[in-house]
C-alpha cells in the first residue's frame, strides 16, 4: 500500500466502507450528496465529466487506503475483529469518503468501488486468529448485484487464507431497503456460504427496526448517537440494555460503536452489551491496531483476568 495513502490514517471503510474519522470512520452516505458540494469546493468548476474521469483513474489504480478499527469483547477484553475503513486520496475532491461513495453511487460505479475496497481490506488485513472477524460494510444494492453473486469476494477470502465465517457484511440502516424479500434472498445466498451479517447504525436518526426483523443479523451495531453521554443519560442506557436483551433472545450480539471515553465504556459494559468499538478502544490505523490493554483492564479487570 503506497505510503501516501497509508499515512491517511490520521485524517472510510469495513471495507466498504466508511466515513470520516470524526464519526469513527462510519460512512454517512445518507448525507453524501448533501456533503458533495462542500467536498468538491474549488473543484466544482471542473465539471462532472472530469470528475468521472478522475474517479475512474482512482479505481483503475486502486488509489485507496484502508485502515482498521478494533472491535473488543467485553467478557474477555480480547479483539473480536476489525472494521475496515476506506480512505480516499488526500489531495482532491475524493478525499471526503462521503463524496467518494456518494459520487460512486450517483454515477453507477458503486459496485466497482466497493469491490476494490473489499479486496484491499482483505489483502491488507494480515494474520488473524481463527475466530476473529473482519467487518466489511456493503450497500444493499451491492448485495444484489449479479457480479457480486459470482463469488469474487470468496476468491479473495480464500486467497488470503480466511474462511467465510471470518467475514461479516455490514448493512447500514441508513440505506433504504425497498425490497426486503429480494434482499433477504440475496443475503441467504451469502449466509449459505458461511458469511455473517451485521446491521449497522442501529439507533441513528431515521433507522427502522424493520431491518433487524427482516435481516435477522448475527450482530447488531448500535450507533454512536445512543452512546454519546450514555454515562449520564439513563434513557440511552435503558435503550442499549433493551437491545442487548433483545439480541440474546434472537441469537445475535450487540456491538456498541463510538465509545470515546472511559466513562462511556463503563456505562456501556453495565448495559450487558457484548462488544464495543470506538476511539477509546482504538482509533482506525494501518496496520490493524490493538486496544490499549491498560485502559481495558481498568474497566474490565475481572473479565480480562479470566481471559488471560
User: Model confidence over 103-160: pLDDT tens digits?
Assistant: 998 898 998 999 999 999 999 999 999 999 999 988 887 777 766 666 788 999 999 9
Count Cα neighbours of 136 within 13 Å in the Cβ-side half-sphere. Answer: 29
Whether the Cβ atoms of residue 231 and residue 267 lie closer than 8 Å to each other? yes
Question: pLDDT at position 12, please?
Answer: 35
Strands (E), the chain: 65-73, 79-87, 133-138, 167-172, 196-202, 219-222, 253-256, 275-276
3 domain-assigned = no
What percentage of the chain carries pLDDT values higher than 70?
78
Calculate the alpha carbon distances from 88 to 17, 173, 280 in Å.
Answer: 11, 23, 24
Is the previous residue joined to 268 through a cis bond, with omega within 30 degrees of 0? Answer: no
209 domain-assigned = yes
Out of 110-124, 202-216, 229-243, 269-283, least confident range: 202-216
37 domain-assigned = no
Across 111-136, b (16+ Cβ under 10 Å) vs e yields bbbbbbbbbbbbebbeebeeebbbbb
Across 66-103, b (16+ Cβ under 10 Å) vs e yields bbbbbbbbbebbbbbbbbbbbbbbeebbbbbbbbbbbb
50 domain-assigned = no
Mean pLDDT of 158-182: 83
Please check the confidence at residue 196 and state whether its pLDDT lies above 50: yes
Helices (H) and strands (E) in the chain — how many of each? 13, 8
> Which of residues 185 and 100 earns the better pLDDT score?
100
Highest mean pLDDT pick, 41-45, 112-116, 295-299: 112-116
> Which of residues 201 and 254 earns the better pLDDT score?
254
271 domain-assigned = yes
Number of domains in the chain: 1
For the entire predicted model, the pTM comes to 0.82
Q: In terms of Cα–Cα distance, which of 128, 93, 99, 132 is closest to 113?
A: 99
Question: pLDDT at position 10, please?
Answer: 30
The C-alpha atoms of residue 293 and residue 281 are separated, in whole angstroms, by: 9
| CATH number of residue 183's parent domain | 3.20.20.450
SS3 state at 273: coil
The C-alpha atoms of residue 234 and residue 248 are separated, in whole angstroms, by: 21
Mean pLDDT of 295-306: 68
Q: What domain range includes position 225?
A: 68-86+109-307
The C-alpha atoms of residue 157 and residue 20 are separated, in whole angstroms, by: 26
156 domain-assigned = yes
36 domain-assigned = no
Question: pLDDT at position 37, please?
Answer: 46
Scanning the structure block, which residue is given the C-alpha cell 462521503? 98
pLDDT tens figures, 17-39: 333 333 444 444 344 444 444 44
The answer to whether the Cα torsion of 210, 193, 256, 13 is positive or negative is negative
33 domain-assigned = no
Please check the confidence at residue 55 and state whether its pLDDT lies above 90: yes
Question: pLDDT at position 171, please?
Answer: 87
In this structure, are strands 219-222 and 196-202 parallel, antiparallel, or unpaired?
parallel
Amino acid at each position: 500500500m503506497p505510503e501516501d495513502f497509508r499515512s491517511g490514517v490520521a485524517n472510510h471503510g469495513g471495507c466498504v466502507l466508511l466515513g470520516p474519522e470524526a464519526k469513527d470512520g462510519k460512512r454517512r452516505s445518507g448525507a453524501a450528496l448533501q456533503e458533495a458540494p462542500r467536498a468538491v469546493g474549488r473543484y466544482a468548476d471542473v465539471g462532472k465529466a472530469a470528475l468521472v474521469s478522475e474517479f475512474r483513474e482512482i479505481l483503475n489504480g486502486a488509489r485507496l487506503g484502508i485502515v482498521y478499527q478494533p472491535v473488543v469483547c467485553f467478557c474477555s477484553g480480547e479483539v473480536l475483529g476489525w472494521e475496515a475503513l476506506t480512505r480516499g486520496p488526500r489531495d482532491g475532491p475524493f478525499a471526503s469518503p462521503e463524496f467518494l461513495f456518494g459520487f460512486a453511487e450517483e454515477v453507477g460505479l458503486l459496485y466497482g468501488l466497493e469491490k476494490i475496497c473489499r479486496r484491499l481490506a482483505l489483502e491488507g488485513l494480515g494474520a488473524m486468529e481463527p475466530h476473529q472477524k473482519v467487518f466489511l460494510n456493503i450497500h444493499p444494492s451491492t448485495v444484489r448485484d449479479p457480479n457480486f453473486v459470482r463469488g469474487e469476494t470468496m476468491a479473495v477470502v480464500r486467497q488470503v487464507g480466511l474462511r467465510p465465517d471470518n467475514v461479516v457484511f455490514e448493512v447500514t440502516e441508513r440505506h433504504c431497503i425497498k425490497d426486503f424479500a429480494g434482499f433477504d434472498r440475496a443475503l441467504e445466498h451469502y449466509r449459505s456460504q458461511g458469511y455473517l451479517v451485521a446491521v449497522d447504525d442501529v439507533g441513528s436518526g431515521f433507522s427502522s427496526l424493520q431491518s433487524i426483523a427482516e435481516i435477522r443479523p448475527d450482530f447488531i451495531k448500535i450507533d454512536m448517537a445512543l452512546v454519546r453521554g450514555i454515562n449520564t443519560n439513563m434513557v440511552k442506557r435503558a435503550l442499549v440494555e433493551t437491545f442487548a436483551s433483545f439480541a440474546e433472545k434472537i441469537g445475535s450480539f450487540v456491538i456498541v460503536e463510538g465509545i470515546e471515553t472511559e466513562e462511556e465504556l463503563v456505562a456501556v459494559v453495565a448495559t450487558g452489551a457484548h462488544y464495543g468499538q470506538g476511539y477509546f478502544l482504538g482509533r482506525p490505523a494501518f496496520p490493524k491496531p490493538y486496544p490499549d490493554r491498560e485502559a481495558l483492564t481498568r474497566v474490565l479487570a475481572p473479565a480480562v483476568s479470566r481471559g488471560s
